[in-house]
């Protein structure tokens, strides 16, 4: 069975497996809307807007 993408409930990072590589949280949901890829959070307007401070793929909205 393939791992399913989940969005971390704490930091919204999208991850596969059992825990979030960004905050080590284990609570994820597969009910999320939209994805953004943050490469340079310092210079990304979208990252500032969403409050993301690290790089990676994040969900825009959790349900």
Q: How far apart are CA 31 and CA 49, in angstroms?
A: 21
**CB closer to Zn ion out of 26 and 46:** 26
Residues that bind Zn ion (CB under 5 A): 8, 10-11, 13, 20, 22-23, 25
Two tokens at 6? 């989940």
Q: How far is the CB of 49 from Zn ion (least distance, A)?
A: 19
- What are the strands, taking DSSP E only, across 1-63? 6-8, 14-15, 28-29, 32-38, 56-62
Q: How far is the CB of 48 from Zn ion (least distance, A)?
A: 19
CB nearer to Zn ion: give 10 or 55: 10
């Amino acid at each position: 069975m393939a791992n399913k993408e989940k969005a971390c409930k704490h930091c919204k990072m999208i991850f596969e497996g059992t825990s979030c590589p960004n905050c080590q949280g284990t609570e994820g949901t597969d009910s999320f809307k939209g994805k953004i890829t943050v490469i340079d959070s310092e210079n990304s307007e979208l990252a500032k807007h969403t409050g993301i401070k690290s790089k990676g793929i994040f969900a825009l909205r959790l349900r």
